[in-house]
Structure 1
Amino acid sequence: MELLSTVDLAGEIEGMDGRQLRMRMVTIEPGGVFGPLHDHVGRPGTVYVLQGTVTEHRDGLVTEYGPGVGWQEDRHTTHWLENKGTVPVVEISVDIVAAPQQ
């Protein structure tokens, strides 16, 4: 996982002190898993797939997302991801998180 950029939201949006907008590039190698099962309570975001096909396991449903497709992650999201394919999955993840303490 590679951190690409962050924006401190304090002063940008009222009530967002202590939060930051974060963008990461996530790579999941063939046979790899992005988990364990986790939620997005307090960490909403969105994901966009650049390469490969990622399999998402959410609420008992299995969904595959290929290049050019993405999904949202909100307070109702509990999931884990895997790469069942033969090429690395590369995705861009953008979310709002607690800013690291200085």
Structure 2
Amino acid sequence: MSDGQPMPQTRGVAVELLATVDLGPEIEGMEGFQLRMRMVTIEPGGVFGPVHDHKGRPGTVYVLQGTITDHRDGTTTEYGPGLGWPEDRNTLHWLENRGTVPAVEVSVDVVRAG
């Protein structure tokens, strides 16, 4: 997966855990899973990488501020502010902030507890 650019390592990224919910007591068959909400801030020139997938941890993203460039399937898409992108089992991507202001997103996903 490449759009002609190297896939750099994470830099200029801060991740804050906002909340979790243990899904085991809530939904039958979901023992060992949590619903997780995080705020991710990517500074100008920052990268959330390297390329990564979302197999077993589906989610969705809402961009609060700035613009985030999503690199996947050889293409780039810019998001923000507003509804971002889904992250499902077919997602294989990396993110960057090409802008001049910090980009802030809220990410909600299902993850294995612990």
TM-score range with shorter-chain normalisation? over 0.9
Secondary structure of the corresponding residue to residue 97 of structure 1: strand
Residue deviations 1:28-81 (CA, integer Å, cap 9, x gap)? 000000010000000000000000000000111100001012110000000000
CA distance in 2, matches of 1:69, 1:13: 27
Alignment of 1:21-100 (within 5 A): 21-100=35-114
What do you get for the CA RMSD once the two structures are aligned?
A: 0.5
| Structure 1 residue ranges without an equivalent (≥5) | none
Q: CA deviation at 1:11?
A: 1.5
Partner of residue 25, structure 2 = 11
Runs of 4+ with >2 A deviation? none
Structure 2 Cα separation of the partners of residues 40 and 8 of structure 1 = 19
Q: Distance in 1 between matches of 2:85 and 2:19?
A: 20
TM-score, normalized by length of structure 1? 0.97
Count of paired positions: 100
The two structures have a TM-score, normalised by structure 2, of 0.87
Q: Which residue of the partner structure matches residue 34 of structure 2?
A: 20
Q: Sequence identity, in percent?
A: 78
